[in-house]
Amino acid sequence: MKKNRGSNHSLQKKASAAVGSCLRSVRLPALLVLFLILFSFIFISTNYRNLDVSALPNAAASPDNDLSFFDTMPATPAPNNAGSVCQSKYEIVPGKVYKLGDCDKHVNDMQQRLMLLGYLPSDEPSDVFNKPLEQAVKLFQRANHLAQSGEVDETLLRLLYSDAPVEYVIEYGNVGNDVRMLQERLMQLGYYSEKINGYFGMATRTAVEQFRLSNNLPESSVVDTEAFNLIFSAYAVDDGNLPFETGEPYYTVSPAPSPVTSSLPMPAASPTPTLPPAPTSTPSPKPTAIATASAAPTAAPTPSPRPTPTPKPTPTPSPTQSPAPTPTTAPAPSQGLEQFIDALYSQLGKPYVFGSSGPDSFDCSGLVYYCLRQAGLNIGRLNAAGYSNYAGWQRIDGKENLIRGDLVFFYDDAYSRISHVGVYLGNNSFLHASATAGSVVISNAGNWFNTHLAWGRRVF
């Protein structure tokens, strides 16, 4: 019995020793497995909490997809993810350079972007890299203080498509046709009296500073979007020393060789210069061509009413003489309209040049300015937005209400401002200086016209 108890005790000791030995042999692997499980859990949960766009495969840095450029750009709210405008809306082909003469779908995107930033007027975009687009690219490069090559490489595209690109601006040291246009307008307003040479020097800088001061703009010598739109509007305040209203269009004797006089008489334009000698001759035959129907038959009063084309005399046909300075004289609109239309057609095919007002090249508002003056309307050089807001011309809402000769104004793609002007011709067509076409053309008033039309203005 005693022997059996000893035997059992011995067996128990052996069993315990075996179990202990087994546990010791698996303890290290078990602890290692447990440690790996715990480490994996901590690692995965930490990375999950910190996961962001930079961890996504499509945003991984690579030579072809380097987003480091946007790290230097200010963070501003945008419809898409900040810093990813190029990735979401615009496509950038790595290493591709676009230049004059190229035809590519990406050129269309460039045009639209430059239109939004004010370097091109709003127009139906195309895939052709033409001269106006090259000029707009140079202006964008100028605003960013880059070499003005007119070519668009990947770096420039990223700058153009960034969240905070530089909008159109004119500043000290700039040279170009737009500077010449600025000088001409500042001269009309009385702020500039030096040579018009297209160079933004000290005289132009002083004129800009004086304009900004007189028009309650922040002190600066830079012509930014706000200043540019005000300078070329009918609301611009002149220097206070001008004898006329700079933004007010009125009929006048044109300095250019034109048959239109201040009173804009009846459609027979040729007899007007020969009227003054008429009173000394036989009264009945000739004078009836210009005088009103009631004054024609009588012979006795003819010596005094014959000088009706001049604004001074006030005989029986006085109603036709008093409205001389106003643009609403009955005969004036029809004659002025036809001369306006004729002047427009004469410019067809001439090149589009931003800031140009003729006679050899035009931008959209420069064409309107030039042709209105050819029709005898003395008006300041405004931009499209400036002409669109002139209250002296009847506003026309709706394409269906437009008639031949109406000015038509168009929004940019963001519908935030007026950026283009043309002239409605009827028959679903309009004439304009088109940056997309590169010249003065007649275009179909189709989908782009319908979706971007703001309103019209009836001048005649």
Residues forming beta bridges with residue 423, ordered by sequence position: 407, 431
What 3-state class would DSSP assign to 223?
Answer: strand
**What is the helix (H) or strand (E) element at residue 114, kind and residue range?**
helix 105-116
* Closest to 177 in 3D by CA, of 207, 201, 197, 202: 197
Q: How far apart are CA 353 and CA 363, in angstroms?
A: 5
What 3-state class would DSSP assign to 207?
Answer: helix
Q: 410 and 122 in contact (C-beta within 8 Å)? A: yes
Catalytic residue among 86, 364, 371, 452: 364
432 is catalytic: yes
Catalytic residue among 86, 106, 371, 420: 420
Question: What's the DSSP call for residue 338?
Answer: H
Q: 136 and 122 in contact (C-beta within 8 Å)? A: no
* Closest to 174 in 3D by CA, of 192, 150, 195, 148: 148
DSSP string, 349-371: TPBB-TT-BSSS-B-HHHHHHHH
What 3-state class would DSSP assign to 431?
Answer: strand
| Count of all residues that appear for the chain in the document | 460
Question: What's the DSSP call for residue 168?
Answer: P
**Phi and psi dihedrals of 304, rounded to 5?**
-85, -40
Each residue of 126-148: b (16+ CB within 10 Å) or e? bebbbbbbbbbbbbbbbbeeeee
Residues forming beta bridges with residue 379, ordered by sequence position: none
**Phi and psi dihedrals of 352, rounded to 5?**
-85, 125
- Which ranges in 162-251 belong to alpha helices (H)? 177-188, 202-214, 225-231
Residues forming beta bridges with residue 439, ordered by sequence position: 351, 434
Q: How far apart are CA 250 and CA 375, in angstroms?
A: 11
Catalytic residue among 86, 106, 371, 432: 432
Structure tokens at 206: 């002083």
Structure tokens at 136: 């707009």
Give the residue numbers annotated as catalytic, written as ranges: 364, 420, 432
